[in-house]
């Protein structure tokens, strides 16, 4: 199956970096004595919570949209999202001078709907569920000729997300391990391509909630496994691994480990308390993995990509 896929490469990440320069932020890398002591390693946190729209998702959306021809972009962009990708597409489209439509389930939190609108996106509601959502997107593409930018199973998205790891490895070149959470796999696959190129001997480790462990199961079985029915607090990771992302992950990722909900919430809170930064639950998944799995990182230098900081301050998980 994956032999049909045209997979992005290091060159695509270099081009992505040029496309998003001046639009995306080069985010800082933070360290923490507390977590170093707790883990017994040197940790380097790439802070995509400080990225535009508050999440790494802006990198991929911006790259995919900036790569369109003026004719394509002029037709307008469409995507579906109940989270950060919708905001990222809305802002990236506006910055490139294009319109954007975001299909959202009609039970979306109002704050997320308003965020898309604030960035200039038009929201179209559909009934919850992937089938109705995909049908709504297809109908609108048919009617208006919009260009569909999916959230992760797309070479331009993957290459854009890979720019975060590229920056991290340029700032901290001698990492032994690089970790990212995995949901649809856009971030992990882009991270893996960048890391394997810049630091061939590095260990690339994905981390996933045990309650949404389709990527870990697919990684073990060697074929795309169905989504887990259970829910996770890490709302950014409820998606199912994409075929393109899986092909890259199989080739370049060393391991995918899983963590408990309790550890995610505990370490999310610990980062707020100790590092004084606002992170979403997904960010805490790699840190929780270091606590709950024997990853043998003692004395090593470990990069962790913090995915974003968009949380509902009225509904914190503790």
Site string for its own copies, 250-289 (x = CB under 8 A): -------------------x--xx-xxxxx----------
Asked if 248 and 193 touch (Cβ cutoff 8 Å), the reply is: yes
Strand order in the sheet with 177-181: 29-30, 42-47, 301-306, 177-181, 203-209, 255-259
CA distance 174 to 95: 35
| Subset of residues 9 to 38 that bind its own copies, contact rule: CB under 8 A | 28
Check residue 148 for interaction with its own copies (CB under 8 A).
no
Per the DSSP assignment, residues forming a β-bridge with 207 are: 181, 257
Among 15, 49, 79, 191, binds its own copies (CB under 8 A): 49
Per the DSSP assignment, residues forming a β-bridge with 179 are: 205, 304
Number of residues lying near its own copies (CB under 8 A): 17
Check residue 313 for interaction with its own copies (CB under 8 A).
yes
Burial class of residue 77 in the structure, from the number of CB atoms within 10 Å of its CB (0-12 exposed, 13-18 middle, 19+ buried): buried
Nearest to its own copies of 50, 152 (CB atom):
50
User: Any residues with CB less than 8 A from the CB of 313 and at least 6 apart, and which?
Assistant: none
- Helix (H, G, I), strand (E, B), or coil: what is residue 104? strand
Nearest to its own copies of 9, 36 (CB atom):
36
Nearest to its own copies of 45, 219 (CB atom):
45
Check residue 54 for interaction with its own copies (CB under 8 A).
yes
Nearest to its own copies of 55, 257 (CB atom):
55
Check residue 181 for interaction with its own copies (CB under 8 A).
no
Among 99, 281, 286, 309, binds its own copies (CB under 8 A): 309
- CA 116 centroid distance within chain: 18
CA distance 188 to 268: 20
Return the range that interacts with its own copies (CB under 8 A); candidates 157-165, 192-200, 222-230, 306-314.
306-314
The CA R_g of the chain, rounded to the nearest whole Å, is: 18
Return the range that interacts with its own copies (CB under 8 A); candidates 79-87, 91-99, 119-127, 309-317.
309-317
Q: Smallest distance, Å, CB 54 to its own copies?
A: 6
Which residues make up the interface to its own copies (CB under 8 A)? 28, 49-50, 54, 269, 272-273, 275-279, 309, 313-314, 316, 318
């Amino acid at each position: 199956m994956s032999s049909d896929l045209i997979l992005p490469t290091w060159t695509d990440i270099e081009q992505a970096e040029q496309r998003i320069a001046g639009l995306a932020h080069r985010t800082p890398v933070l360290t923490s004595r507390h977590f170093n002591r707790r883990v017994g390693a040197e940790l380097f946190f790439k802070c995509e919570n400080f990225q535009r729209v508050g999440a790494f998702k802006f990198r991929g959306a911006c790259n995919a949209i900036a790569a369109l021809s003026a004719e394509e972009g002029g037709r307008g962009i469409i995507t579906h999202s109940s989270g950060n990708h919708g905001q990222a597409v809305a802002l990236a489209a506006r910055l490139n001078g294009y319109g954007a439509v975001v299909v959202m389930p009609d039970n979306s939190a109002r704050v997320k709907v308003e965020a898309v609108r604030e960035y200039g996106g038009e929201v179209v509601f559909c009934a919850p569920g992937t089938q109705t959502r995909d049908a709504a997107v297809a109908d609108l593409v048919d009617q208006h000729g919009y260009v569909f930018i999916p959230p992760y199973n797309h070479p331009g998205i993957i290459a854009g997300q890979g720019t975060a790891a590229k920056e991290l490895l340029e700032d901290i070149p001698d990492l032994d391990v690089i970790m990212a959470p995995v949901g649809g796999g856009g971030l992990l696959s882009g991270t893996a391509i960048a890391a394997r190129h810049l630091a061939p001997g590095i260990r690339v480790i994905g981390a996933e909630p045990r309650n949404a462990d389709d990527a870990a199961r697919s990684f073990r079985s060697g074929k795309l496994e169905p989504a887990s029915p259970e829910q996770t607090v890490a709302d950014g990771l409820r998606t199912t691994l994409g075929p393109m992302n899986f092909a890259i992950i199989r080739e370049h990722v060393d391991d995918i480990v899983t963590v408990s909900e309790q550890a995610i919430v505990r370490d999310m809170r610990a980062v707020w308390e100790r590092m004084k930064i606002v992170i979403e639950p997904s960010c805490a998944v790699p840190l929780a993995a270091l606590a709950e799995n024997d990853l043998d990182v003692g004395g090593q230098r470990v990069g962790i990509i913090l995915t974003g900081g968009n949380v509902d301050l009225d509904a914190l998980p503790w």
